[in-house]
Amino acid sequence: MMRTRIKLILEYDGSRYDGWQKQGNTKNTIQGKIEQVLERMTGSPVEVRGAGRTDAGVHARGQTADFRLEGEYETAEVMDYLNRYLPEDIRALSAERVEENFHSRLLAVSKWYRYRLWTGKKKPVFERKYLYQLEQELDLQAMEQAAVLLEGCHDFRSFCSNKKMKKSTVRTVRNIQITQEGDELILDFYGDGFLYHMVRILVGTLIEVGEGKRRPEEMSEILQKKDRQAAGFTAPAEGLCLMNVEYGGRDK
């Protein structure tokens, strides 16, 4: 029988979902919703794999997923069906056929996450679900000094919430950009991969630097300690968005 593996680019508002990954105790996940629609279309179960297992409440503008369908399907047909029956807060942006050995998570070479903060008194009405409100100005120069120390290849165990993590916690953060646009502060993280809650803990730690609660130089000490208690708080989910996933030459 003919098999079709499809690579999908998605966007979603994660506000009302229990994260990307399908779980036994809830049916309210992004992966679960997509699989339900594909099963309805094909009449058989379909496993959807995502590049980033975004947490509950986290959003995506460029999540990559892939799945295999038994039989011959046109990508336009699949995308149209998904967008017709998916909830209004999940949307397929593109679909393309890929080789059978494509894996959206294992073959990803780079991910871009964005965290948005609001330092003003009240969040804009139409952006309120995507901003974490601080209501205070931060020391951007100190935050940028700290960010430089977090860039590069390090053991980020101190920035991981999974205490039972047995796999390597070494990751490469290629670049951290901090941009102020009026009352909005944007933190962009580019790296080869991120641990459980890693970006949100990095944000929380940088916020504490911006508040003057930590010195920029402490970042090196936090990395060396390899202890979650050494780093800052975990910033709330609503400010985080997976912007893009990049692949090398083996993605097709």
Which residues carry out catalysis? 55
- H/E element holding 59? strand 59-70
* Cα–Cα distance for residue pair 168/84, rounded to 1 Å: 41
What's the per-residue H, E or C state across 168-234?
CCEEEEEEEEEEEECCEEEEEEEECCCCCCHHHHHHHHHHHHHCCCCCCCHHHHHHHHCCHHHCCCC
Nearest to 186 by CA among 241, 226, 149: 241
Q: Characterize the bridge pairing of strands 59-70 and 90-98.
A: unpaired
3-class secondary structure, 16: helix
Structure-block tokens of residue 82: 């998904």
Q: For the chain, what is the largest distance between any 2 Cα atoms, rounded to a whole number of angstroms?
A: 63
Would you list the DSSP string of 130-169? G-EE--S---HHHHHHHHHHH-EEEE-GGG---TT--S--
Q: What burial class does residue 191 get, using C-beta atoms within 10 Å of its C-beta: 0-12 exposed, 13-18 middle, 19+ buried?
A: buried
